[in-house]
Amino acid sequence: MKKLLPFLILFISFTSFAQQGIIKESLKVKSKLMGKDIKYSIYLPADYDKTNRSYPVLYLLHGYSDDETGWTQFGLAQEIADKTINSGDAPAMIIVMPDAEVTWYMNTFDGKGRYEDFFTEEFIPFIDANYHTRAKKEFRAIAGLSMGGFGTLLLATKHPELFTSASALSSAVRTDEDMMAMPDERWESRYATIYGPNLKGTARLTDFYYKNSILKIIETASPEKLKTVRYYIDCGDDDALVKGNMILHASMMEKGIPHEFRVRDGAHTWTYWRTALPEVLRFTGQSFHR
């Protein structure tokens, strides 16, 4: 027993230090702009209910056909956040994971869907009003995977006044040529409700499309405004989306927009995104530091 005692003390000390954050899944916020309730999940730091402090916020976006539980159930967001925060690699933060269904985090061409407006005009103010957040750009970040990577870049480049950093994982960045050559069946199933139905070839490249094209935004937006956000871009070398991400990287270099760019071994899988999340949290935490 005497030999075991030091180990027991060490174990108790470690477990008391390694505190666990709280996950609340599938909560609801009422949206007038969307005309319905929108679900979201949220990670609260371990000491959230024990102090009066306010926390920086990371909005963490899911991919196509997933929902607000994707990052918690498949991405192990709680376990990874606990480990990264407890090790001191990232500060304690609130992580908000909204459901975007298959909206691409955009408003639609016909104005019937207003997810971008919901996110910027209703959702962020709701989170700031109902949780202990540091409600300033300097303490608000965004990140996401695939469709959520696209949404991350879209929201950060169109609303740079809202976010201090944007981390896009395996983001669905496609060139004009990719969009024009897309099979009609895929266009109708994934993009018709967003950009317009029954469009083929160059007809898909509408003014609305260009206003929401990441590559076009980088090309035409004010570099000085874009530079107010720190960017982290990461895509697997076996991911079909790596080409678009490399073109994005080249375009940002050409415009002189600072960013971190990674191509690592891996594909379009949760295994890849789970290995990316710790670095996203570290990068986000560095952006919060002042």
Rounded to two decimals, the pTM is: 0.93
Residue 254 phi/psi, 5-degree rounding, is -60, -35
Q: Return the pLDDT at 4.
A: 54
Q: How far is CA 254 from CA 181, 185, 246, in A?
A: 26, 35, 12
Residue-wise pLDDT for 81-104, tens only, equals 999 999 999 999 999 999 999 999
Residue-wise pLDDT for 191-223, tens only, equals 999 999 999 999 999 999 999 999 999 999 999
What is residue 12's predicted lDDT score, i.e. its pLDDT? 47
Q: Per mean pLDDT, which range of 6-15, 25-34, 225-234 is the poorest? A: 6-15
pLDDT in tens, 38-81: 999 999 999 999 999 999 999 999 999 999 999 999 999 999 99
- Ranges of each domain in the chain: 21-288
Q: Could you say which of 3.20.20.70, 3.90.1150.10, 3.40.50.20, 3.40.50.1820 is the CATH number of the domain covering 21-288?
A: 3.40.50.1820
| Rounded distance between C-alpha atoms, residue 182 and residue 227, angstroms | 32
Give tens-digit pLDDT for 226-253.
Answer: 999 999 999 999 999 999 999 999 999 9
> 30 — phi, psi (to 5°)?
-80, 130
Q: Is the pLDDT of residue 111 over 80?
A: yes
pLDDT at 289: 80
